Structure 1
Amino acid sequence: MSKHRPTIADIARRAGVSKVAVSYALNDRPGVSPATRASIKAIAQEIGWRPNSAARALTHARADTVGLALSRPARMLGVEPFFMELISGIETELSARGCALLLQVVTDPAQELEMYRRWWGEGRVDGVFLADVRSPDPRIGGIAELGMPAVVIGHPSAAGTLTPVWSDDSAALRDTLTYLAALGHRSVARVAGLPELIHTQLRDRAQREISAGLGLDEPVVVHTDYSGEEGAHATRRLISSATRPTAVIYDNDIMAVAGLSVAQEMGLDVPADLSLVAWDDSQLSRVVRPPLTALSRDIPAYGSHAARTLLAMVADGSAPGFEDAAARLVPRGSTAPPR
């Protein structure tokens, strides 16, 4: 009977580390400490581990795959137009280059970072996208340590040393608030997304500053999880308050559609009693009555730009950041002067 050939799993058990850590150490990749690397290599030599010739040939080969892990509830992805359109844009660019997208839904950012480490250590991806950047966000430093090509789909202020692809939300908010102020609105609330997300924080700050500059009331901002249920709940709170706003901006169109339903249910006329504006202009915004005034942008193109930037990094080692066009305001039937 032939003797068992030593494997990476054997080294991992002896060293008390994961197989991914062993792969990092044996392939001289970042991601493990010098002491751990030395210990793993010593164990490999001691037990007589030798790399498989086919695996060694593949060590520096491209996977022709890039990764995206999302810490969002899986049920939300099926109804969230933004991510579906973003992914369609990424896929369009990747498929034209013979590259694939590895997509994984995870429970939290820590699991997302671990997923990226595993993919990179196992050679399953050539690079990754980071979305929903938080404050603070350990993924930024963790990915930078690995030396993995990565594109942050978010503002440069939160990207650290990684390459960002972003659009200017403050410009879109300025156009919207200026338009509502011209109609005569002075009290403009917002139903926003998750408060820990950088783009939510940037929108919050921009709304306060722009509202003050236009002489509008201090804005009331209600943070939610982007779902229709929470959008509806936030709308009920706003329009039931003693100081009801005359206009509400929603951070996505699912919440805006839910808000429209709540306003009509509570006997308000949209737009005479309450004007509504939706961020992201999917088909949802256009099929309801009245159709929603929306901040429209080409989200598939946004995804394509992110994919193009990441593929350039994989091919050339680096790529400049890319600022996409800001969302533009498309007035429809859900906004009018307040009565």
Structure 2
Amino acid sequence: MKRPTIADIAREAGVSKGAVSYALNGRPGVSEATRERILAIADRRGFRASAAARALAGAPAKVVGLALQRPPSTLGVEPFFMELISGVEAELSTRSYALLLRMVPDGDAAAEIDVYRQWWVEGRVDGVLLCDVRADDPRVPAVEEIGLPTVIVGPPAGGGSASVWSDDAVSVAEALEHLAGLGHRRVARVAGIAGLAHTAARTRAFAEACPRLPVTSANTIWTDYTGEAGARATRDLLGGHPRPTAIVYDNDIMAIAGLATARELGLRVPAELSIVAWDDSPVCGLVHPPLTALTRDIAAYGAHAARLLLAVIGGEQVGSRLDEPARLVARGSTAPPVS
């Protein structure tokens, strides 16, 4: 979707570009009938006059958008997004850009697409970061159709949009090799949202690595990343037969919840259950025992995404960037199994 210009509005209304500017800004210089005609055209094209004035004049918004299909409470409890946003903000501030954040209902891709369309037509943003990409994600072709400069934060999703991503298969293999080296043969995984592209990549890597090591029992339970879901999945796994001697969690919040659940069930960590967390955070080092975790510089990851998007906005031809994979930091939550 091509963003309208002042010339487009003027041409349709049969007036000069100056008359359009006067009408949109509520200034004298045009008749009331002409003003109403111009505002009607602006309204039909889907933008508000106050926001349109800047866009029609061709000035950049100097703003990058980020819409997330998650409840607002997520930002208060999940360190990943706060660290990602801090990295994005740090990079944008060096170029005098701001970040516009919008939360949309979980699972409502159409609502998110509507946000992008409104932002672009109204000239509110110069580009967007697209997170939590799924297989056959409708948002990817939508932003390309709109013409909105976009960088995907996650695995490439086809089309022409660039992406910043890390090879999670490397990290999965490193975690499983660590556990297998300690003697674990029954390893379970508490995964995130099944439909997300990075979750699917981790699932494939987990299934491929286990037989090679060998890990003889490898169950996976999918969740929504919350601590409550992580606790439920942990109870289900520890109540099953055979019981896993190690669990890998797809984020730190679920791993901490899993640690608390194991204690409630009377299991000693790491003697009777080893735990590995994705997305290492300061909290992982504060609990007892401190959690073995797959760690990476998430703030730097966000900064790389912002830098790539600014290059796209600037008209550069860029490709996808493979970032550093998460690496294992062994702490007190992993040890050889007692049986």
Shorter chain as denominator, the TM-score bin is: 0.7 to 0.9
- Tell me what 1:71 maps to: 69
Q: What amino acid does structure 2 have at the position aligned with 1:154?
A: G
* Alignment check: 8 A CA contact 2:55 2:123 kept: no
Which residue is 1:45 aligned to? Answer: none
Distance of aligned partners of 1:56 and 1:336 in 2 relative to their CA distance in 1, 3 Å threshold: closer
Q: In structure 2, which of residues 40, 46, 51 is the aligned counterpart of residue 19 of structure 1?
A: 46
Cα distance, 1:9 vs. partner?
5.3
Give, in angstroms, the shift of residue 6 of structure 1: 2.4
Letter in 2 for 1:300: A
Distance 1:57 1:181 in 2: 57
Flag as ranges the 4+ runs of structure 1 deviating above 6 A.
Answer: none
CA RMSD of aligned residues (A): 2.0
What is the percentage of aligned positions where both structures have the same residue? 56
Instruction: Give 1:12 deviation, angstroms.
Output: 7.0
AA partner of residue 325 (structure 2): A
**How far apart, CA to CA, are the structure 1 residues paired with 2:319 and 2:307?**
11
Q: Which residue does 1:27 correspond to in 2?
A: none
State how 1:1-339 maps to structure 2 within 5 Å: 3-4=32-33, 5-6=35-36, 10-11=40-41, 19-20=46-47, 55=53, 58-107=56-105, 108-156=108-156, 158-339=157-338
Change (3 A) 1:211 1:3: same
The aligned amino acid for 2:61 is A
Structure 1 residues 182 and 95, CA gap change in structure 2 (3 angstroms): same
Instruction: Indicate if the aligned counterparts of 1:149 and 1:310 stay in contact, CA closer than 8 A.
Output: yes
| SS across alignment from 1:249 | strand
Counterpart CA distance in 2 for 1:273 and 1:59 is 66
Distance 1:79 1:6, change over 3 A: same
Q: Number of residues paired by the alignment? A: 305
CA distance in 1, matches of 2:234, 2:199: 18
Q: Given the superposition, is the C-alpha separation of residues 103 and 56 from structure 1 closer, same or farther in structure 2, using an over 3 Å criterion?
A: closer
Taking the aligned partners of 2:56 and 2:139, their CA distance within structure 1 comes to 27
Other structure's SS at 1:257 match: helix
Offset at residue 57 of structure 1 (A):
7.8
Q: Which whole-Å CA distance do the structure 1 matches of 2:297 and 2:158 have between them?
A: 22
Q: Is the Cα contact below 8 Å between 2:154 and 2:163 reproduced in 1? A: yes
Contact 1:59-1:123 within 8 A present in 2 as well: no
After superposition, give the CA deviation of every residue in 1:180-217 in whole Å (9 maximum; x if it has no partner): 11100011111110111111111011100011222212
TM value normalised by structure 2? 0.86
Structure 2 residues not aligned, in runs of 5+ = 1-30
Letter in 1 for 2:32: K
- CA deviations over 1:283-335 (Å, ceiling 9, x no partner): 11011000000001000000000000000111134322211100010000000
Moved more, 290-299 or 103-112: 103-112
CA distance in 2, matches of 1:8, 1:195: 48
**CA contact under 8 A between 1:232 and 1:259: conserved in structure 2?**
yes
Whether the 8 Å CA contact 1:9–1:19 is kept in 2: the answer is: no
Question: Structure 1: where are the runs of 5+ without partners?
Answer: 24-50
Instruction: Decide whether the 8 Å contact of 1:8 with 1:19 is kept in 2.
Output: no
Aligned partners of 1:193, 1:131: CA distance in 2, in Å?
Answer: 14
How far apart are residue 274 of structure 1 and its match? Answer: 0.3
Whether the 8 Å CA contact 1:149–1:317 is kept in 2: the answer is: no
Instruction: Supply the AA of the counterpart residue of 1:173.
Output: V
**What SS does the aligned partner of 2:317 have?**
coil
Q: Distance in 2 between matches of 1:74 and 1:300?
A: 20
1:74 partner SS: coil
Amino acid paired to 2:40: D
AA aligned to 1:200 is T
1:218, distance to aligned residue in structure 2 (A): 4.4
Tell me, what secondary structure is at the counterpart of 2:218? coil
